[in-house]
Amino acid sequence: MNEKVLASQPQNDRLSRENGRGCSRAEFLQRVRGALAVPGELDSAGEARRDLSLVRLVGGDADCVGLFIERATAGGLCVHRVKPNDLMKVVVQMLSACGARRVAVSVPGRVGQSLREWLAPRGVAIVSIEIDGSLDAQYDADVGITDCDAGLAESGTIVLRGDAERSRGTFIVPPIHLAILRESQILPDMLDYWPTLSDCDGIASGRDGSVHGVTNRVRKVPTSIVMISGPSKTADIEGILITGVHGPREVHVVLVDDR
């Protein structure tokens, strides 16, 4: 069993051992097993089925859009509801209201395309986010525009992902963040978000899979998921709340009524 385990990470173990820096995976796990003394029977499948309804804060029958707006606003997000046809107009208005000259855009697909078409003739430059994988260009942007993966009514949270079409810097580097969210994307509770990530077979189900013959179903996740519940905040100096310490001081959610 240990041979199998070790084989999955030969490169790392070699790395650690050769440089005499850390210990090997086998040694490390042996320390843990030693401390556990007599490990009890592991019911991994039972653990996966554990009833979490106790922590559910919003049910499916709630007014999720209303709750989302109320709680996002309480957390410091500015929510703007728009009709689908007004989306571009409103975004352009908001950009000119804050005097944006340069924007970073992490919005794929049709909406991203129309954004580019609307912004170019209005003297708003779009900084290139597709350079050498660094966030450098976005440090000069006035506003970052992103789409969202979901909204959570429970806490007024927007969920963003970083992937092939979405930068991991657009929501955090520019001083103002503008996120486009569709009402149909709003889910009642965080518990409802995970099933929206597609399932894939366990990449490595470890000892559990072989012992119990249960294939461990795991979620296929993007490199980065960020759940945002307000503007960047700190209260480190005498407990006084200040926004925009590292990330944006303003976060606007343009909520598109697509229902």
Partner 1 sequence: MSGSRVLTPDLPFDMSPRADVAGRDVKLQQFVNSATQIKDHGRVNACRAAFGDRYDAVRKLAGEIKQHTLDHLDVYLDRFIDNATASGALVHFAADAAQANAIVLGIAREIDAKLCVKSKSMVTEETGLLAALEAIGVKTIETDLGEFILQLDHDAPSHIVTPMIHKDRTAVARAFVRELGAPYTEDPAELTRIARDHMRRQFRSADMGISGANFLVADTGSLVICTNEGNADLVVASPRVHVAVVGIEKVISSLEHLSVFLKLLARSATAQPMTVYNTIITGPRKPDDLDGPQQVHIVLVDNGRTEILREETRELLRCIRCGACLNACPVYRKVGGGHAYGAVYSGPIGAVITPLFKGLENYPDLPQASSLCGACFEACPVYINIPAQLIRLRRLLVERKLMPGTTRVAYRLWAMTLRRPWMYRASAAFQRIVLRQLSTSSEVEDRAGVNDRVSENGRDMVSSAWCAKLPGPLRAWTLSRDMPVPPSGSFREWWANRDRGSDASRRAGRP
Q: 39, 29 in Cβ contact below 8 A?
A: no
Nearer to partner 1, 102 or 233 (CB): 233
For residues 61 and 238, which CB has a smaller minimum distance to partner 1 in the complex? 238
CB-count exposure of residue 228 (10 Å: 0-12, 13-18, 19+):
buried
242 contacts partner 1 (rule: CB under 8 A): yes
Among 45, 59, 235, 258, binds partner 1 (CB under 8 A): 235
Q: Which residue lies nearer to partner 1 by CB, 47 or 61?
A: 47
Minimum Å gap between C-beta 253 and partner 1 is 14
Q: Is 114 a binder of partner 1 (CB under 8 A)?
A: no
- Judged by CB under 8 A, the stretch of 38-46, 80-88, 89-97, 109-117 that binds partner 1 is 38-46
Which residue is it, tokens 């703007």?
A: 80
DSSP string over 128-184:
P--STT-SGGGGG-SEEEEE-SEEETTTTEEEEEESSSS-SSTTTSSSEEEEEEEGG
Q: In this chain, which of 88, 102, 227, 250 binds partner 1, going by CB under 8 A?
A: 227
Q: Counting contacts by CB under 8 A, is residue 66 touching partner 1?
A: no
Applying the rule CB under 8 A, the residues between 76 and 105 that interact with partner 1 are none
Find the binding residues for partner 1 in span 146-205 (CB under 8 A).
154-157, 162-169, 171-173, 189-191, 194, 197, 202-205
Asked if 206 is part of the footprint of partner 1 (rule: CB under 8 A), the reply reads yes
If 0-12 CB within 10 Å is exposed, 13-18 middle and 19+ buried, where does residue 153 land?
buried
Compare residues 85 and 198 and give the one whose CB is closer to partner 1: 198
Residue of 133, 198, 213, 259 interacting with partner 1 (CB under 8 A): 133
Q: Pairing state of beta strands 250-256 and 78-82?
A: parallel
Under rule CB under 8 A, residue 33 binds partner 1: yes
CB of 82 to partner 1, least distance (A): 24
Range in contact with partner 1 (rule: CB under 8 A) among 95-103, 110-118, 179-187, 243-251:
243-251
Q: Measured from the CB of residue 114, what is the shortest distance to partner 1 in angstroms?
A: 20
226 lines the binding site for partner 1 (CB under 8 A): yes
How far CA 13 is from CA of 3, 30, 67, 144, in Å, comes to 12, 15, 49, 41
Taking the complex as a whole, the smallest distance from the CB of residue 123 to partner 1 amounts, in Å, to: 25
Smallest distance from the beta carbon of 89 to partner 1, in angstroms? 28
Q: For partner 1, give the closer residue by CB, 13 or 90.
A: 13
